[in-house]
Structure 1
Amino acid sequence: MQTINHTAKRTDTQLLVLTHLSQLLTYITGFGGLVVPLILWLTQKDTVDGMDEHGKSIINFQLSMWLWAILSIPAIFLFGLGILSLIFIGVVSFVLPIVNAIKASNGESPSYFMTIQFIN
């Protein structure tokens, strides 16, 4: 007797969009922009088509932004360059999730620049 694997992935662009937009929780809670996408990615990566790619890019982006922000703090003492970089990080962390949510709704792959590949 054969067993057939019926684990076909479903297409759910709304969940992908929601995952990208959940990064904006950072501005409300301070850390929700990393926790919520991480939970969505870990629970849905095997059932939603494209979630693994989008989830990895979101987690890599969030970890990279945290790292760049931590590295910018000592740079504040270097002629205020850290303040400029923190402002830049804040703008990029707000704009890129929205841009990539639009890309996800159109079925495109995400693209976050300044991202270190922690998870492949």
Structure 2
Amino acid sequence: MSEPTGPAPYGYPTGPAPLSAGDERTWGMVAHLSSFVAAYVALGLIGPAVVMATMGQRSAFVRRHAVEALNFNISVLIYALVSGVLAFVLIGIPLLVALAVLYLVTTIQGAMAANRGEEYRYPLTIRFVS
């Protein structure tokens, strides 16, 4: 089935309205900071996934930030699981502390970059979602 062409009936828009520049920056920042909401149960990837699914279709900027935050949270979950296993041989304990500091600092940096309207790439991130 093909998409209809031409103007929408009665002048109604056919898709979601694009976001303003201010809203883009706000939702980009939310994509990063929303990971804190469920991070305490190792599900920090839920917030960025929800932002990507709901607002990502309205703004390429928001989608890029949500994808970056989602990839970082998936990577951190993997690193935390490996560090948790390594905690039994004591090397994992300092790794978990370092990972927690990295998570806190880089998530705040990503949110600040989004708020300024800039792109941000997390370090040590495996790119699962594109």
Q: TM-score if structure 1 supplies the norm length?
A: 0.85
Structure 2 Cα separation of the partners of residues 61 and 87 of structure 1: 17
- 1:77 Cα deviation after fit: 3.3
Runs of 4+ aligned residues of structure 1 deviating over 4 Å after TM superposition are: 4-8
Q: Which among 10, 15, 18 is matched to residue 9 of structure 1?
A: 18
Listed as ranges, the gaps of 5+ residues in structure 2 are none
Structure 1 Cα separation of the partners of residues 85 and 35 of structure 2: 25
Aligned to 2:119: 109
Identity, % of aligned pairs? 25
* Cα pair distance change 1:54/1:85, threshold 3 Å: same
Structure 2 Cα separation of the partners of residues 54 and 18 of structure 1: 9
Question: Which structure has the greater CA radius of gyration?
Answer: 2
Count of aligned pairs: 118
Which shows bigger deviation, 18-27 or 63-72?
A: 18-27
Aligned to 2:33: 21
- Preserved CA contact (<8 Å) 2:38 2:47: no
Return the letter of the residue paired with 1:109: E
Structure 2 Cα separation of the partners of residues 114 and 31 of structure 1: 18
- 1:20 Cα deviation after fit: 1.2
Structure with the larger RCO, 1 or 2 (CA within 8 Å, 6+ apart): 1
Aligned to 1:44: 55
Please list, as runs of the form range in 1=range in 2, the aligned pairs for 1:66-77 lying within 5 A after superposition. Answer: 66-77=77-88
- 1:26 Cα deviation after fit: 3.7
Structure 2 Cα separation of the partners of residues 35 and 74 of structure 1: 23
* Cα pair distance change 1:34/1:94, threshold 3 Å: same
RMSD over aligned CA atoms reads: 2.1
